[in-house]
Amino acid sequence: MGRRVPVNFCFAVGIHCARTTATRRRRAILKHWEAARERTLRSVWQDTRRHALQHGADDLAGPAGDGDAQAHQSKYRSISARRGCLRSLSARENYLPVNSRLWAINEGEVSLSRTMVPLAESIDIIYKPNNLRVSLNAVQTLDSRMNLAGLIPIPIRSQNSEIFSLTQSEVTRFFISKIGGGSQIHTGGFIYRKYNQCHLIKRDLLYRDQFTINEIEEALIETGHEDHFDEIMTDFRKKGKASQLPIIKRLQAASGII
């Protein structure tokens, strides 16, 4: 006699199988869509390149008379431009657009740095945590400490509320170590703006839950915005927060894919 299986167990297994099937179907659809998108991008690029190779001379070279020196110079410049364009197209014929944040970082920023650094005769880092030491040593009062703490990301603040009981030298070391311990455009972006006149702002400070929208607004008012306050705040609001995305997008954002 066979063993009886509880009805609720069968129901749970049925739900799990349905969810697994739906997930596989969704992955297959996404994979098919990405493949179709890649084929379309390749086709558009190949058509554009083919047109440039066939009509580049006619598109770039203007009319020139043999007896006119200026026209000869114009023709020479046009032919040179056409050749440069064709060389550029030939070098990029295998270019494949990739809509991946991680790929862009690893193959763009990281790869470029790995190529350039060994060739550099000297390396000059413009914004360094130790350059903030003199300014941070001047932060004496608790109010100024509190204001400074509002210029560092929320994760650092929430884990280190004890900064208000540290000595002055310990506070300086704390900020320097925290700024240098992560992505400095995130950890110290507003502090560099305040003390070193850094004109860079990361656009994902709200998206990655590094600051609230009100904190960003207050930080811009305190550290400066080069008369672009409204445009900057509009950009932050339009991008929104990753925590408000649908579940799949939230998982992608948490893993750094988007």
**pLDDT tens column, 179-221:** 998 889 999 999 999 999 998 899 999 999 999 999 999 999 9
| Distances in whole angstroms, Cα of residue 138 to Cα of each of 11, 13, 14, 158 | 66, 64, 65, 24
Query: Quick one: CA torsion of 191, 193, 197, 199, rounded to 10 degrees?
Result: 150
Distance between CA atoms of 82 and 88, rounded to whole angstroms? Answer: 10
Higher pLDDT, 120 or 17: 120
Q: What pLDDT digit, counting tens, does each position of 7-17 carry?
A: 454 444 454 55
Please name the amino acid found at residue 44. Answer: V
Tokens 């204001």 correspond to: 147
pLDDT at residue number 129: 93
CA distance 30 to 155: 34
The Cα–Cα gap between 140 and 132 comes to 15
- Return the higher-pLDDT residue of 196 and 107: 196
Is 182 buried (19+), middle (13-18) or exposed (0-12) by CB count in 10 A?
Answer: middle
Q: How do residues 13-50 score in pLDDT, each as one tens digit? A: 454 555 566 677 667 766 766 776 676 666 656 666 66
pLDDT at residue 50, rounded to an integer: 65
Can you read off the two tokens belonging to residue 162? Answer: 């004890």
Are 233 and 217 within 8 A, CB to CB?
A: yes
The whole-angstrom separation of Cα 19 and Cα 206 is 33
Domain range summary for the chain, segments of one domain joined by +:
7-97, 129-254
pTM over 0.85: no
Higher pLDDT, 94 or 74: 94
pLDDT tens profile 93-106 = 555 666 677 888 88
